[in-house]
Structure 1
Amino acid sequence: MVWRRYPIDSIWHEMDEMREEIDSLFRQMSERGRLLPAGGMSDRMLPAIRGEFRVDVREHDNDVIVVADLPGVDKEAVSLQLVNPRAIEISCERSDEREEKGKGFYMRERMSGSMRRIVALPTDVTDKDARASFRNGVLEVTLKKTKDAKKSRIAIE
């Protein structure tokens, strides 16, 4: 290890380099099919492992529709906020507890975490007449296009 003038900065820099190297190795293994086949399971699983979620944004005549995949999340744990006329924030908490008993063993697992993403929108929108629904782990938000909008929360039906 090389000591630099500022050892604390060096540690964080080295950790960033290690993380980038590990991400690169996972990408290489995925591309070669040794971890998960590219274009299949890896595209669905790796974002969830990293605490990310997929989002689609569509623009229609008077609306902008945002669809987010939030598997394993309860509706009550999802929060939406119009950050500015061109961005919406989707955040959620996820937790899961499993218990398994059998002859000669007992297992209990807990998983929890939070996810947050600010989604850029193609045009200015408003929260007036906004609609949001959450079914089977899929969040769909419909926002009206506008010329003037403000920051606000959107209730999920």
Structure 2
Amino acid sequence: MALVRWNPYGEFDALRRQMDRLFEDVTEHGGLDTRNWNPAVEMQDKGDSIVLKVQLPGLDGKDLDITATREAVTIAGEYRRESEEKKNGLFRSEFFYGSFKRTVGMPVPIQNNNANADFTDGVLTLTLPKVEEAVNRTVKIDLAGETPGLAAAER
């Protein structure tokens, strides 16, 4: 009769493997929580405007709803599943399907009525002109007590 040494950590390892399989099965069959999915964004200050780029691969422009206020831009849309007959042979899908909505706050007020949008190769590019007072302008500041425009003899 052979003596087998018992390893208590072996039980934990078996439990971990079973839990890994369980979570893999859950996420493989739609249990993955995608409610909080947001597209990636990139924002640049171009002086007189803000350029906002949003990655939306696989979408058509007709699937997007873009709204803007002076303080924020909201992009909403929906990724739709392909028709059921095209799913033959599918073993696993980690693609996101469903609706999303992303609101991006602006660092300065924008002229939302003059915004421009371009959607090319899955990247939405929004050019958002700043309101006039938000454009960085250089102005001369006079010293207190000095009256601008008067010659030294008149002071």
For Structure 1 versus Structure 2, the TM-score category normalised by the shorter chain is 0.5 to 0.7
Larger Rg: 2
Report SS of the residue matched to 1:97: coil
Query: Relative to structure 1, is the Cα distance of residues 120 and 101 closer, same or farther in structure 2, using a 3 angstrom cutoff?
Result: closer
> Per-residue deviation at 1:51?
2.2
After TM superposition, give the deviation of residue 127 of structure 1 in Å: 2.2
SS of the aligned residue for 2:52 comes to: strand
Show the 5 A alignment for 1:1-157.
Answer: 50-82=36-68, 84-97=69-82, 99=86, 101=88, 112-147=97-132
Q: Percent identity of the aligned residues?
A: 26
- Quote the RMSD (CA, aligned, Å): 3.3
Q: 1:127 to 1:50 in 2, by over 3 A?
A: closer
Query: What is the identity, as a one-letter code, of the residue corresponding to 2:40?
Result: R
Write the distance in 1 (CA, Å) between the matches of 2:36 and 2:72.
Answer: 22
**Alignment partners' CA distance in 1, 2:87 and 2:55:** 28
Distance (whole Å) between structure 2 residues aligned to residue 127 and residue 62 of structure 1: 13
What secondary structure is seen at the aligned counterpart in 2 of 1:128?
A: helix
Q: CA deviation at 1:95?
A: 0.8
Residue identity matched to 1:145: K
**Partner letter of residue 130 of structure 1?**
A
> Which consecutive residues of structure 2, in runs of 5 or more, have no partner in the other structure?
1-31, 134-155
Q: Is the 8 A contact 1:80 1:89 kept in 2?
A: yes
Structure 1 pair 96/128, CA: closer, same or farther in 2 (3 Å)?
same
Q: Cα gap change, 1:111/1:57 in structure 2, threshold over 3 Å: closer, same or farther?
A: closer
Provide runs of 4+ in structure 1 moved above 3 Å: 109-112
How many residue pairs get matched? 99
Q: Which structure has the highest strand share of the two?
A: 1
Q: Distance in 2 between matches of 1:130 and 1:79?
A: 14
User: TM-score, normalising length from structure 1?
Assistant: 0.53
Residue 111 to residue 55, structure 1, CA distance change in 2 (3 Å): closer
